[in-house]
Amino acid sequence: LYILDINKGPDQHDRNLQKIVPGLQPCGSFDSSYDLRQLLLSTCQLAPIGLGAFSGPTTISSESVIGGPAKKIKILDHAVTMLRAVTPTILLLLVENGNGDTSQNGLWDMNTDGTGLIRLTNDKQNAQSLCQFSQYAWSNVSRDGTMYALQEVIPNTDPTKTTYNMYYGSMSSGLPNEFANIVGTQLSLAGWTSL
């Protein structure tokens, strides 16, 4: 993971970039903290069998956005494949174990200090995802920080029968509510707004 200084223009090469995280794992995620001062990382493992199957444990850590020593926040037994800082004190974690124990798969929230882990959804088909277009907090959480949103894609061998679902729920109790679905036409979560 490198820092790209936009003030230096378009002709930059990796030898001139500042490396802040060497050798990212093939499983995991990263985000900046809500105040943009810390880099938050989740690193998990590829399962020994099957390509693309993720497994735990996952280490969640933080470090300065300009690099430096990492501080462990939490170690979880399962594969955290998406991590988002959605308020100054709350992280969203998407657990997507590809093999072994998949009973914990789904969306969770956790305090930024590693305490208060709460399950929000179940994902028995490894089909859920947070917004894939942006890591901005309002891509996944309402502007007042009380509700989350996520998308679900249930594939089919016939693409015209792939199902796309959208859900929202309370950050304090989970229990997702479906608010949109369509079959055969792509439906993707872009973010929250207010009217």
Task: Kindly report the three-state secondary structure assignment for every residue of the chain.
Answer: CEECCHHHCCCCCHHHCEECCCCCCCCEEEEECCCCCEEEEEEEEECCCCCCCEEEEEEEEEEECCCCCCEEEEEECCCEEEEEECCCCEEEEEECCCCCCCCCCEEEEEECCCCCCEECCCCCCCCEECCCCCCCHHHCECCCCCEEEEEEEECCCCHHHCEEEEEEEECCCEEEEEEEEEECCCCCCCCCCCC
Is the per-residue pLDDT at 49 higher than 80?
Answer: no
Is the per-residue pLDDT at 23 higher than 70?
Answer: no
pLDDT, tens digit, 9 for 90 and up, residues 130-157 = 988 888 778 899 988 899 999 999 999 9
Question: In the prediction, which pLDDT does 75 show?
Answer: 95
Find out whether 53 and 74 touch, Cβ atoms under 8 Å.
Answer: no
Question: In the prediction, which pLDDT does 174 show?
Answer: 67
Residue 141 or residue 5, greater confidence:
141
Mean pLDDT, residues 71-86 taken together:
93
pTM for the predicted model, two decimal places: 0.87
